[in-house]
Chains A and B, each alone.
Chain A
Amino acid sequence: MDSLEYIDSFYQGSRSTEETGIFEKNMKDDSGFAEQVAFYISARQLAKEESDEESRNRFREIYLNNKSKLTQQHKPVRKLWFYAAAAAVVAAIVFGMFRFNNNESGQALATRYLTDSLQNLGVRMSGEVNKMQATLNLYNEKKYTEALQGFEEIVNSNPADFQARIDAGLTSLQLNQYDKSIKYFSALQSDARFSNPALFYHALTLMKRNQTGDQEAARKMLEEVVDQKLEGAQIARKWLH
């Protein structure tokens, strides 16, 4: 531990020429010390690689989300799609019931999405990292009541914590507390950040709630998600087509 502390001080602090000379002499004269230096560098390198891997995964997610936008710019078929979608909406109104892709009801799609894609929330950065991680763990363990309480405590202590508010909305949705869920997502829809899934989640909530008019409203929101190329656009397009 003492050697590690000394090595750490050498790397973390400012180094005089004299201190560097002593450090090097220790490395050459003491093989055990040199091994600890090698271990210290290796451990830091490995920790960096693990962090980088997390970043790469995050970047991949961003890239895949944005890729559809770039592809769409090269395909001038939006008008045709718009008319087709409009025709589908009219047809659905005529039949008095909305059906999404594969003739699956909106509620069934939403339930499946909640089960398949929102059972686990990944590690997020937040103003309150420890508290956030503990609350995410509760969510991932399906302890939704406790998780909601946790997210709301984070939101109360920092109302600007966008991610905690999104997570509070999702947890409310898992608890079928639709009004609360809608309240969270509605408030976040106008937040002009790079990645904002609030409108998509609002639509998801309506699809799951399935009251009169909910499916129509959800469909309109999903169309807006696609048109505005918001987060969730790929899934929304899949559901609408």
Chain B
Amino acid sequence: MESSRPLNYSDQEIIEQLRQNGVDRRKSEDQLFNRYSYFIREGINKHGLTEDDSFSAYSDSVLAAIEKISNRSFEGRSSLKTYLYQIFHNKCVDLLRKKTTNKSSVYRTESITDMLFFISDSGKSVVQKLIERTDWNILKAKMNELGGNCKQLLGFWSENYSDREIASLLEYKSADVVKTSRLRCLEKLRQLYKPTQQ
């Protein structure tokens, strides 16, 4: 019986697997989380966070790093450990400063900013005002009304999987079929959500 559980993938291997968006991506995410999970202890000892807050800061840091690696914003100029630690350190400081604010709303703002990156400031303000009016609780409830297939499809899409990768994972005939199905799911969600906003 072999005793060593962790597979010692190099940082580069983890990065490659996260960029490939294949069946091994979840395993790579788990490995990345596990590899530097001792940061949680640092969050407790150095920043005086509770274990739960330190875990949240670390989990969110890993998720942010995964997103940046996956969409290739992370260019590998620093080591994965240094990069992750910088994010984690900032999250810890944010948590200490904004102890009373809603953590998920902070994260939400960051991601929406990414989506608005390509648009000029005047265009951004138009869309931002409309997004601020979004009733997240209702939208979430309506998303839960979508079937499991739609939710799965939209989940992969939100994680930057390409339609071709989704087709391969979910056994769709082609990327075009994925695109059509994905847009149908979005339209269905819009139709469910729209009447609640009138």
Chain B residue with the shortest CB-CB distance to A56: B59
Q: Given the complex of chains A and B, what is the CA–CA distance between A190 and B133 in angstroms? A: 54
Q: Please determine whether A194 and B26 come into contact, CB atoms closer than 8 angstroms.
A: no
Q: Please determine whether B127 and A27 come into contact, CB atoms closer than 8 angstroms.
A: yes
Interface positions of A from 220 to 236, Cβ below 8 Å from B: 224, 228-231
By a CB distance below 8 angstroms, the chain B residues around A35 are: 130
Q: Taking chain A's interface residues, is the majority helix, strand, or loop, or is none over half, making it mixed?
A: helix
Q: Please determine whether B112 and A45 come into contact, CB atoms closer than 8 angstroms.
A: yes
Q: Please determine whether A49 and B108 come into contact, CB atoms closer than 8 angstroms.
A: yes
By a CB distance below 8 angstroms, the chain B residues around A190 are: 1-2
Whether A59 touches B62, Cβ cut-off 8 Å, given contacts A41-B116, A49-B108, A128-B171, is yes
Number of A-B contacts (CB under 8 A): 168
Q: Mark A40-72, 1 if CB is under 8 A from B, else 0.
A: 111111111111101110111011001000100
Whether A38 touches B1, Cβ cut-off 8 Å, given contacts A66-B34, A130-B171, is no
Whether A46 touches B139, Cβ cut-off 8 Å, given contacts A5-B183, A125-B23, A224-B1, is yes
Binding site for B on A (CB under 8 A): 1, 4-5, 8, 11-12, 15, 20, 23-24, 27-28, 34-52, 54-56, 58-60, 62-63, 66, 70, 125-131, 133, 189-190, 192-196, 199, 224, 228-231
Binding site for A on B (CB under 8 A): 1-7, 23, 25-27, 29-31, 33-34, 37-38, 40-41, 55-56, 59, 62-63, 66, 104, 107-108, 111-112, 115-116, 118-120, 122-123, 126-127, 130-131, 133-134, 136, 139-140, 143, 148, 151-152, 154-155, 157-159, 163, 169-171, 179, 182-184, 186-187, 189-190, 193
Q: Identify 6 residue pairs between A and B in the complex whose beta-carbon atoms are under 8 Å apart, listed by A's number.
A: A34-B127, A48-B159, A50-B155, A129-B152, A199-B1, A228-B1
